[in-house]
Amino acid sequence: MLQRLRVLVAKARTSSNSPLFKEFLNYGSSTVLVQFASLMSGLVVASLVSPAEWGNWYLLNLIIVYGMLTQLGALNGMNREVPAALGQGRSDEAVDLRRATLAVLVSSIAVSSAALLAFGALLPGVGLTDVFVLTIVLLFANQVYGYVTTSLRSTTSFTELSRLQVLRAVVYPVLAIGGAALLQVPGFILGQAVALLFAALVGTGTGTVAWRPKFDFNLARRLIRVGFPIMLVGFVHSLFATVDRWVVAGFRGSEALGHYSLAIMALGAVALVPLVISQQFYPRMAFAWSANQDAEELRRLADRQRLLSFTVVLPVVVLLVLVAPPVVRALLPQYAAGIPALVVTLLIPLVSTVGEGFGNVLNVLDRQSWYLAAIIAAVVVNLGVSIALIEPLGIVGVAIGTSVAFAVLSLLRVLLGGAAIRQATAERTRAA
């Protein structure tokens, strides 16, 4: 593994000459394939159950969405500290950091699983139903798969990650749809878990994933100290992105949430494209900052990320706005009430691309508190506008409120990211 990491260091040091766009095509196309498989599986399963049942699953799925809290930011710390260590030529340390991350992950999975089981057993109205218990299994599978993919991303092993994602895209619909056909929603959840665990097992063969945990308190504390603020930003962003679910479910019920789920799935599908680009740029930003301490290089990378994101997202949004409504009416007529909200939500990724890149800048420059404040402000806007508009406009009002909130967050990313770069540049000038 050490030899493998030294090769990756050499590759990163010549990254300015590497075919980034070709890498994006490989990694991006495999990620889009994964999202397409997930989206199509979701639509097929949605056609097999009622909108109310599907809405209930979308509420329960929040256990997975909020499950990032359980690992205390260790994965986020690994994703920044490993490329930073490689940027300074410390390959041995990069291996130890990943082994320590695995130790934190193993411990957190055991504790969180026990806590969720106790919560389900003791809280009235929840109970240890098959759906609830299987969701805990899915959370475990999601964490393990996340460790594998983060290991590959943190070492810029996007070729191996692309192959792994193609495999997942093939296996996922077979198991998820097959499970739903046999056991409805419980089978759907079980199929997802098995697909993720199988892909994680195959990831062992890449040669860059460390599977021997290292229970080192100092390394674990370092990873959590670095990663917890980043994770907290991600968690609050997840809270921000799921405000609409709570508002729809609270004011209109699970059936309306089932209709609104079309908008959620569409946004997740399109938003994955800029996320893919961000995941490629983030380790490069961390590497560049660790190696050169040049804040202006971060600005250049952020601008490249923003331009590439907009260029790729625009045709996808236009295509889906034209195609999605007639497809839903033809194949999912019971969800037709969600089409107007779907169309409004599809515009969000275009708004978000304005701020792409500067979220990474804030994380690399340790300005997570700034980023957190921006997201909290967007949460308040999302909640306020969505509640104000849901009575007169229904779920379309929630889609509008969510769009306004994303626009606010995008603008704040640009303003705060630019301020962080200026501050870092001034600090370096004074130090010189």
- For residue range 116-138, list pLDDT tens digits in order: 888 877 776 666 788 888 988 99
Structural domain harbouring 244: 2-7+15-431
State how far Cα 213 lies from the chain centre: 24
pLDDT tens, residue by residue, 406-421: 999 999 999 999 898 8
Q: How far apart are CA 287 and CA 293, in angstroms?
A: 10
- Six-digit token string for 370: 């700034």
Q: How far apart are CA 248 and CA 405, in angstroms?
A: 16
Q: How far apart are CA 171 and CA 207, in angstroms?
A: 22
Q: What's the total number of domains in the chain?
A: 1
Q: Going residue by residue through the chain (432 aa), what tens digit of pLDDT does each one get?
A: 544 444 444 444 444 444 556 666 777 778 778 878 888 888 888 888 888 888 888 888 888 888 877 888 888 888 888 877 777 777 778 888 888 888 888 898 888 888 888 887 777 666 678 888 898 899 999 999 988 888 887 777 777 888 888 999 999 999 999 999 998 889 999 999 999 999 988 887 666 777 788 888 888 888 888 888 878 877 887 888 888 988 998 898 888 998 998 888 888 878 877 877 887 787 778 777 777 777 778 888 888 888 888 888 899 899 999 998 999 998 888 889 999 999 999 999 888 888 888 888 888 888 878 988 999 999 999 999 999 999 999 999 999 999 999 999 999 999 999 898 888 888 777 766
Residues 154 and 283: beta-carbon distance below 8 Å: yes
Buried b (16+ CB within 10 A) or exposed e, 391-417: eebbbbbbbbbbbbbbbbbbebbbebb
Look at the block and give the residue holding tokens 């889009």: 32
